[in-house]
Structure 1
Amino acid sequence: MGILAFLILGLIAGALAKAVLPGRQGGGWVITLVLGVVGAILGGWIGSLIFGGGLGDFFDLRTWLLAILGSVIVLVIYGAVAGRRTRA
């Protein structure tokens, strides 16, 4: 998968992760892109540990599910860190 496809995957996975999680998450589309790409990397790593294969082709369902799962995890961590920072 090329870098442009990986960025598109990250942006869409980050947006879907924001839509799945309840509440209001801060950040614009740049933060969504960064969190989505980091989430896709995390999802690929988790997939390689559990299933023996990480991110595959751009149109593979497993690739999208792993990227969205990783993005949800990263978004939860980001929300905990950013929420704690703004309350102080």
Structure 2
Amino acid sequence: MTIESILGAIVIGAIIGALGRLVLPGRQPIGWLVTIIVGIVAALIGTAIAQVLGVETTSGIDWIEIILQVVVAVIGVAVVAGIRGRTRV
């Protein structure tokens, strides 16, 4: 891995994680670092799902892949927020 790919993963993860938090209604008791980590993981899983479905390489912007990544990020944010919300009683 190069430094550019690592920085790219962090930036994409931050964007996907932020979109996941925006789509999920309500307030989530997680910080931005956790959001970025969830976003990075969601981007990787969303890309893997897109590859399995055969939609990862389309001409132009890969909207289906982005939607898959955001959906996975919403699920990830909800799970992490649920876990963190229960432990902070």
- Per the TM superposition, whether the score is higher than 0.5 is yes
Q: Which amino acid in the other structure matches residue 48 of structure 2?
A: W
Which residue in the other structure is 2:28 paired with?
Answer: 25
Q: Which runs of 5+ in 1 are unaligned?
A: none
Q: TM-score under structure 2 normalisation?
A: 0.74
- Output the aligned Cα RMSD: 2.6
Q: Which runs of 5+ in 2 are unaligned?
A: none
**SS at the partner of 2:29?**
coil
Quote the offset at 1:42 in angstroms. Answer: 2.0
CA contact (8 A) 1:44 1:67 kept: yes
Quote the offset at 1:4 in angstroms. Answer: 2.1
Q: Which has the higher Rg, Structure 1 or Structure 2?
A: 2
Q: Is residue 13 of structure 2 the alignment partner of residue 10 of structure 1?
A: yes
Change (3 A) 1:74 1:54: farther
CA contact (8 A) 2:42 2:72 kept: yes
Q: Is residue 77 of structure 2 the alignment partner of residue 75 of structure 1?
A: yes
Quote the Cα distance in structure 1 between the aligned partners of 2:8 and 2:68: 15
Identity %: 33
Quote the Cα distance in structure 2 between the aligned partners of 1:60 and 1:37: 17
Quote the offset at 1:81 in angstroms. Answer: 1.4
1:17-63 CA-partner distances (Å, limit 9, x unpaired): 111111111222211111111111221233233x135588xx53233
CA contact (8 A) 1:55 1:62 kept: no
Q: TM-score under structure 1 normalisation?
A: 0.75
Change (3 A) 1:8 1:81: same
**SS at the partner of 1:2?**
helix
